[in-house]
Every structure is written in structure tokens, then in C-alpha cells.
Chains A and B, each alone.
Chain A
């Protein structure tokens, strides 16, 4: 037994040598949720996405250790003050190179353009949005009676995130995207388990001040984080480097998760061939 224990470091070293870029085992990492908090504790890169708003940089966290199993995963978040931020939803419904599509729908006042909700297949094998979509007051996709999830919406010029359980009426909504699940509800992590593998993620959240937070987790291979890891990141307090979201809504993930910061000409997420059903714009008022 002692001999076996002595051999353990050699066995682990050999396993490491065989796999220079070790892949994460989600089962192991679910029990090691600390890595997300540890990552948020390192000094983030601060990217000024709008020269006029230097107080709201985009924070980007990345594990610098190339031997780390989480190396290459980027967490990012950006706070947009409620007083000067407007939401717009555009009905895109286009196939092509997603980087180019997002650039083409960008307006001059946009601080960030990002992906919206889910989509599926229509009767004619075409792609159609799933869940409520209201673009500039026009409803382009119907509300889905999901038991979970929520909406990012704008009423009277004020953007916010509302869980579906608190959603009452469609009246007065100027812009809206319905999606799921809620990652944070009332400052509590909304995801208890996630059997799915890691994917790229994007989310819209609000903090207790009502400021809008856009956040994402991206890896070049599209396998960034699980929903649990993403929600843990969104819940990290500001004092510890996190966005400290009060309510956070998950948007479409995988290759569809995309964030574009036009003033910094920065794309995050898969930029190749794809279909973009709609886009969420946050711009200065």
C-alpha cells in the first residue's frame, strides 16, 4: 500500500505528460467550485469599451497558467449605469458569419451588442425564435409559458431583468427577450445542478442599484463553463472582483453566445458561420 502511495505522484505526472492540455472533468469541477472565485480574485484586464465612460470598463478574467485545466476560459462583465443606458432588441433573422452580422446591426450609440434568446426550427425547416421577442414595440415571437427563466425587458426607457414568476403583463413593454434559466434570483444562485457539459455563456443581469450588467464566459473551443459555474461567477461580490448580480438571466449559449463591443472593436464568442435570430443592444442615452 505504501509503495502504491509513493507511486501516485509518478502516475499523476505520467497522466499529465500524456495530456498536455488537460480537459476539465465537470464532475470534479462541480465539487471544486472555488476555481471560479479564485479566478475572480486575480487582477482582471480592464478594457475601456467607450472612451467617454472610463469608469465602466469591461473586466476580463483569465487563468494565466497554461498548465491549468481552466486556462483559456475568459469570464467578463461590464456594468452599465441605469441612468444612461437604454435597451434595444433587433430582429436579425440572418445566417452568415456571426461577427459580420453583429457588426452590421450595430448602431453608433451601442456600447455592446449581444446575442438574444433561444431559437429552434419552424414548420418549413427554417430557424425561428423561441420565447417572447419584442423589438421596438413590435412582438416578433410569442411568449412561452415556461415554468422558469425570465425576461430582459425595457419599460418606460428603463431596462431590467424580471423572473418569469414575477412577470405579469405584456402591456407597455418596449423591448423584450425571453430566455432561461434565471442564474441569479434575489442575489441567490438559481442553478442547483447542471448535467450538461460546459459551453460558452452570456447573460444580462441587474444589481441592487438597478444598473445593468452584461456578462459572459468564453473559450475558443466553445466549452467554457457550466451553468453552475457561470451563476457562481455572477454572484461573486464586487469586493471580490465579481459582478454581484441581484437578478441574472441566461441567454442562448454554445456557439450562439456572442458579445460585441463596437467602440473597442472586440468580439467575444464564436464568430464563424451561424444563424442570428435577434440581438440585444445596450447603448448610452
Chain B
């Protein structure tokens, strides 16, 4: 039926769409012809460049080129949730990333720590990161302090453009309160600053014969041995990690509530290193 109906009609001219195109072509060419000659000569390259630029902007090449120009150089800081970590404590170390010059790409965070003093409770030793455009906490590492001693945490963030590291050292302290040193007996725990590195000094004072140990946040540990008088503190410090022996000479200063051991340490003929220990009486 429909065929019969159509037979009596004039077929639609095949040029209808074509005539629209022709019209547009006509319009474009008319517009084109209206343009000044100098502009017409630059139009095609400009249009081509524009297409290339848009293509570049949405392609992965942009990222590569930008990283060639601006190097990815984030700052990574490990921020513990507490100033003092005691044996048995659970605590968090936040991995804070600050991008510089260019956004930080996604990557992988590798976590290392002192297994003798720390246990990583989460999220894991290998963590995927999403990248960062501004200051971001990339991860929150939960640790448990296992036992007293120097502890070290270290992270390495690897992106496809680089590898970035950060470390944090601290001391896991004993939970029980130790006896305070007194001017008559130096036995006990002292806060130590040795060559601008902080740590702890554990002294056993046997009527002037001194023995004990020390730990520094740098991870250096060792023993002390020597003698003291009422005023002088003369010990040798043996670093078990650096295999270095220091000769320490100090004088005792008595403050209102504090004892101070102030002096210096020497290793062989090297320049003196500052030694300062203090303890509340």
C-alpha cells in the first residue's frame, strides 16, 4: 500500500541535504572571502595549532612535559601524635606531604621502622597514594612501642617522577618512673644533648664509679664508664654503632631543681663536641 502511495509522488531530490551543505559551504566561503587577505593566510595554521593544543592538553604528554619543566619536589614530614612515647604505647605518625611547583603524582609509600623497638599496626608497609595538589596527610601510620630504646621510622614515596624520603628518630622510654639522680648519687636517667642530638643517659653511680648507657635520637647507642667527684664527671663514651670512643669531661652545676652536667667530649684529636645532661632532682 505504501509503495502505491509513493509511486505517484515526485521523489525527493537527492540534493536536499547537499543543497544545505552547499549553502553552508557557500556561507563559509562567503565569510572566508570577506576576510582580509593577511588573515586568510594565517587562519589555517592557527586553526591547526588550536586543534593540536587542545589535543595536547587532554593527552598524557602534557603531564610528562610539565614535569620536565617543573620538577616534582614535595616535602615529606613525619609528624608523631605525641611528644613522648613509652613502652606499650600505640601512637600515630602522620605522613604529611607538601607539593612544591607542581602537583604530586600518585605513587607508592614504603614504610620502614626499627623492628626491635616498634611494631607497625597499620595500614601496612606498602601504601598506595593518590597524589596531592596541596598540603595533605598521605597516610597515618599506627605503631606500637615494643620496648625501651632508640626508634627510627623512615618512609619513601615513589612516584613515576621521583622518589622522596623522610625519617624520624625518637626514644621509646620506660613506663616505670626511675629514681632521680641527686647531687650525692648520679644514678638514674638524664636527658642528654650530645653534639646537638637529643637522647638519654642512664647512669649507675657506685660511690663515684660511673657506668651506664646512652641512646641518641640519631640511633646511636653505647656505654659509659668512668668516675666522678662532687663536681667533676669524667667518663668515656663508647659508641657501639659508630665504633667511636669519646672522652667526656664535665662539671656539675646545681640549679634549684635540676642537676646539670656541662662540658665536652673528644674523640682522639678531633674538635670538642658539646655534652650536656640534665635531670630533675
Contact = CB atoms under 8 A, between A and B. Distances in A.
A275 B232 contact: yes
Interface size bracket, A side: 20 to 34
A255 B228 contact: yes
Among A196, A252, A272, which residue has the most Cβ atoms of chain B within 10 A?
A: A272
Interface stretch (B52-60, B148-156, B192-200, B206-214): B206-214
Contact of B234 (A95, A120, A121, A270): A270
Nearest to A119: B230
A272 B183 contact: no
B245 to A, nearest CB: 11
Contacts of A255: 227-229, 231-234
B125 to A, nearest CB: 37
Interface string B164-194: 0000000000000000000110000000000
A254 B228 contact: yes
A171 B209 CA distance: 39
Interface residue SS majority, chain A: mixed
B263 interface: yes
A273 B232 CA distance: 6
Contact of B249 (A127, A273, A275): A273
Contacts of B232: 98, 254-256, 270, 272-275
A222 interface: yes
A48 B195 CA distance: 41
Contact of A196 (B207, B228, B234, B254): B207
A114 B206 CA distance: 26
Interface residues of B, number: 23
B208 A199 contact: yes
A16 interface: no
B209 A274 contact: no
Nearest to B211: A197
Contacts of A275: 230-232, 251
Contacts of A199: 208-209, 227
A256 B225 contact: no
A128 B274 CA distance: 28
A126 B225 CA distance: 26
Interface string A189-201: 0000000110110
Interface residue SS majority, chain B: strand
Among A119, A221, A274, which residue has the most Cβ atoms of chain B within 10 A?
A: A274
A211 interface: no
A223 to B, nearest CB: 6
A252 B228 CA distance: 12
Interface in B202-255: 206-209, 225-234, 236, 249-251, 254
A92 B268 CA distance: 31
Given A270-B234, A273-B250, A254 B229 contact: yes
B183 A125 contact: yes
A223 B209 CA distance: 8
A14 to B, nearest CB: 20
Contacts of B209: 196-197, 199, 223
A138 B57 CA distance: 95
Contacts of A274: 229, 231-232, 251
24 contacts: A98-B232, A121-B183, A126-B254, A127-B231, A196-B208, A197-B206, A197-B207, A221-B225, A222-B227, A223-B209, A223-B226, A252-B229, A255-B229, A255-B231, A256-B232, A272-B232, A272-B250, A273-B232, A273-B251, A273-B263, A274-B229, A274-B231, A274-B251, A275-B231
Interface of A: 95, 98, 119-121, 125-127, 196-197, 199-200, 221-223, 252, 254-256, 270, 272-275
Given A197-B209, A223-B226, 11 more contacts: A120-B230, A121-B230, A127-B231, A196-B208, A254-B232, A255-B227, A255-B229, A272-B232, A272-B234, A273-B231, A273-B251
